[in-house]
Chain A
């Protein structure tokens, strides 16, 4: 039973380019979460999605960032016109259940470097 898959594992972009990060949840999980971890910082929640729906995007920057989880295929976190401050590790997690007691399992992350 494969865990949460993320690709690419490492992504290098120049300022102003677009970054697309992909996440495939664990088999049977329909709840997906994206978190960002800046160097020497804790993980910060960005967005929570179910299939075709954004449930909570309270942690997402208002501009340049978007996320989707289509009916078919992986969840995508998209960052337009990247800036140096976007350099971070982006982790995706999935859970079987929703609500307060859900246990979230994390993928290996995508390390984004903006030059």
Chain B
């Protein structure tokens, strides 16, 4: 089982749609979780940290289910500018804890 697994997509959605991304992780001892977005040939940019209680930032909502080792990201009212690859990221518990484990990403394309 891969350490962090994501549906690669692509997800092709119209503007205004709601889209959800899912991610599973293998290490039950992982303690911190993040969503990053990465535009083509650019660096990853932190979108949001994911907290146990779930958290929301504008149109973006992140959820964590520790029992199922599952993380989700919901984007409401999609904009053209949301087109990017969304990376699910988990800390590497058991190591120095300084390094992050990245999923391969889910590609989103928002069309007019």
Contact = CB atoms under 8 A, between A and B. Distances in A.
Interface residues of A, number: 29
Interface of A: 31, 33, 35, 41-45, 48, 55-56, 58-59, 89, 91, 95, 98-109, 111
Contacts of B42: 108-109
A33 B46 contact: no
A33 B95 CA distance: 14
B92 A43 contact: no
B98 A56 contact: yes
Contacts, number: 67
B98 A108 contact: no
Contacts of B49: 101, 103
Contacts of B34: 103
B104 A100 contact: no
Interface string B80-100: 000000010001110111111
Nearest to A47: B99
B102 A31 contact: no
Interface in B27-52: 31-32, 34, 41-46, 49
8 contacts: A42-B4, A45-B100, A59-B99, A100-B31, A100-B97, A102-B98, A104-B100, A107-B43
